[in-house]
Chains A and B, each alone.
Chain A
Amino acid sequence: MKQANHDDFQRWLHEKTRAAEPEVSAEFLAAQRRAIYRRLDEPRHKFSTRWALSLATVVLVLAGGLTLERRRPAAPAISDEQLFSDLSAMEQRTEPKAIQPIHSLFEE
């Protein structure tokens, strides 16, 4: 039943699309041909405007990214000894890290 409805609608649609053939004026087609000939005669640019715009956008985004990256403050440098001592202190800590904030409640 569904297939029959589908086929019937398809036939109707086909009939309607064929019936609604739009008229295109001869003047419009002639003007379009002239535009095509004009474009055929133009020298072919290696890079189109669209490509140039895309390239400019990419350059701008990259430049912006680099500027932001430079502005970001550098992380404070610490010595290797300091780093190792901090790491070993963290490793030797028996208390779970999650309960550390509770200690601060009892500190004066």
Chain B
Amino acid sequence: MAASTPTPTAEPLDTYTLNMGPQHPSTHGVLRLKLTLRGERLVAVEPVIGYSHRAHEKMAENRSYAQFLPNTSRQDYLSGMIYNFAWVEAVEKLAGIAVPERALVARVILAEFNRISSHLLWIGAFLLDLGAATPFLYTFDDREAIVFLLESVTGSRLTYCTGRFGGLAKDLDADFPRRARAVVVKLKARWPELVDLIEDNVIFLQRTRGVGVITLEQCRTWGVTGPMLRACGVPYDIRKVEPYGAYPRFRFDIPTRPEGDVFARYMVRILEMAQSVRIIEQALEALPEGPILAEGSIGVKKRLKPPVGTQYYAVESARGAYGILIVSEGGTEPYRAKFRTPSYANLAVMQDVMPGTMVADAVAILGSTDIVLPEIDR
């Protein structure tokens, strides 16, 4: 049939399209990149997302504030604790609920452990993308210690749901500080080894230095945040800029690197883990006694009716600035909930960063963004 004959296009034949994903092992979840290539050089990159869209924003409108709690850590399954606490804290702010001191400090400890475990998984997976299998085993061994510790407090290994409006579901037991310190000791002992293994490796340096440089202008246009922005020399961290919870009372630095390349992003995350450990050590010292849940408040069964209003609340997740916007019309359910997820912007900037680079570097650049697709698709 004549109608089915492909019509010749005016496009020159020297470019061609390559699909990376949605089943590619280095796309970390289900992401498809439509790469347009000329030879081995990328001309255009189009991320195709939405494969794991679960309509979290619609679900939030159909259930009470407390019923939405389990959804939160399913957005970013690698730093679910931080996302769970973000929702709890946003609702506390909207409804004006006070939180006991012990719960505030305990949240910081749990969230920082979760941040380290997320970074550890990223280091392992990223190096696996680059062809190095050994670091993966090292980082998973360390990560397992953290996961085991968090499991002992929350009952879950990955999708934590331990935040409650007004505190935490379960108190830290008397033995927790000892176990937490033991994990910290284990982490600290392993890091020099990890650094020797990775940063002195010539192949790693050649594949990461000067590759995938992001400019400040690109960061601003696309809204890049988190370690990706700090690797461009900007010390932007919500924990410092808009301090929340118990963070103002702990001393820590914001590591930055000026280069903006893949290696800088790696270094920033390595240095950040040391800062998280610093926070954890101070918090364990400062952990006050007292109730873990506000007196008479809240449990999950109480019907919560926040006043009419819109609340924007931001926290620093392992990937960048995570924002929650809740619109309340005074009902028991949110009228609208919007999640500003960091990976969304950090992936979108790739349309601008990747063109001009070699296709062999595409995996290194994509891996360095530390994207979590369920968080982008929501």
A binds B: no
